[in-house]
Amino acid sequence: MSVPPAHVNRRAYLAWLAVCVLWGTTYLGIRIALETIPPALVGGLRFTAAGIFLVALLASRGEPVIRPSQWGGLALTGVLTIGVGNGGVIWAEQWVPSGIAAVTVATIPFWMIGIEAFARDSDPVTIQLVLGLAVGFAGILLLVWPDIAVGGAAGHQFLAGILALQIACVGWALGSSVSRRYARGENVISASAMQMLFGGLVMLGIASVRGEWSQVAWTPRTVLAEIYLTIFGSIVGYSAYIYALRHLPTATVALYAYANPLIAIALGAVAAGEPFGPRVVFASTMVLIGSALVQWKRAHGVTDRSVGATAQSRRTLPDWVASDGRLKRRGDR
């Protein structure tokens, strides 16, 4: 395996750092956008615009267009990861602080392990895996129980938000599994652009059914948040993610999933006055430690499935990207 030039390596690490920062800030961006823009529109406008832009960019560069015969699988993956996954987070942040939402999303590998357990080629259950699940879910319980126990309308809304976040995690895990098992060698950028487009259109459809167009109020603050989410969260952040994956080890790139919650918690506390105290810090640490135990083998690095869950924890790109920009087929290495 050839060693990349030093300048390429530096750019790759800068791209990885951009992913950590940009995707860590999107949680606060969602919260701000929700101030006057209904939830389905927040996600629908963002991902539809990002998908259209990436498709147009690829067309201008002469990249091959994905055949309609392949749209079914991409639509399913897009609905699961964008519609259910990102849509669940947006819905939850109506009531759940952005930092707590980011920490809860870090449990996606737990759900991925559960889904993959039904596969014939699943990894064996180990003591380390069970310990990681126990520590992680105990951390989530410590993080959210005081707000749920308050009761009343606020407690019920917070509980609804936490349930929405878990549904989002299931959506991402299912989408990751579907994409991983049925990838057919499509250009990864083209495939993900189509997934964003399909997921975004579904969310716009939901927004129309719910009558959200008549509820939206455009303000400079929320419009800027929506633009930020579209440009920096989806287009720039995603492009940086692809570049980092192509030039750095997957295990290194996957570490962004641990940086995102830390950035989201700190930013939420400083910019939005969200809760930040010993309980939040301790519980968040437990969740991240549990996630690490689930994902890392004893002394041999990261399992393929666990990295897939981490890579899917924020976006639609699996970790099996070949050097030519195409998705590896199942069994390829």
The confidence score (pLDDT) of residue 186 equals: 63
| CB 293 within 8 Å of CB 126 | no
Write the pLDDT tens digit of every residue in 273-289. 998 889 999 999 999 99
Question: Does pTM surpass 0.85?
Answer: no
Q: Is residue 333 one of the residues assigned to a domain?
A: no
Q: Would you call 36 exposed, middle or buried from its count of C-beta atoms within 10 A (0-12, 13-18, 19+)?
A: middle
| CB 51 within 8 Å of CB 194 | yes
Q: Is residue 225 one of the residues assigned to a domain?
A: yes
Q: Is residue 36 one of the residues assigned to a domain?
A: yes
| CB 107 within 8 Å of CB 264 | no
In sequence order, which residues have a C-beta less than 8 Å from that of residue 180 and are 6 or more positions away? 308, 318, 320, 330
Per the DSSP assignment, residues forming a β-bridge with 302 are 296
Q: Is residue 28 one of the residues assigned to a domain?
A: yes
Domain residues for the domain of 47 are: 6-312
Q: Is residue 95 one of the residues assigned to a domain?
A: yes
Mean pLDDT by 10 residues, the chain (333 residues): 64 93 96 97 97 92 80 90 95 96 88 71 73 89 87 89 94 82 67 91 97 96 97 92 85 84 94 90 91 65 39 40 43 41
The confidence score (pLDDT) of residue 130 equals: 84
Tokens of 206: 């939901």
Per the DSSP assignment, residues forming a β-bridge with 326 are 187
Instruction: HSE, CB side, 13 Å, CA atoms: give it for residue 302.
Output: 20
Count of CB atoms within 10 A of residue 178's CB?
18
How far, in whole angstroms, is CA 61 from its chain's centroid? 27
The confidence score (pLDDT) of residue 99 equals: 94
Of the candidates 126, 83, 72, 89, which has an alpha carbon nearest to the alpha carbon of residue 306? 126
| CB 108 within 8 Å of CB 310 | yes
Q: Is residue 319 one of the residues assigned to a domain?
A: no
Count of domains forming the chain = 1
Three-state secondary structure call for residue 63: coil
Q: Is residue 302 one of the residues assigned to a domain?
A: yes
Read off the amino acid at residue 185: G
The confidence score (pLDDT) of residue 41 equals: 98
Q: Is residue 318 one of the residues assigned to a domain?
A: no
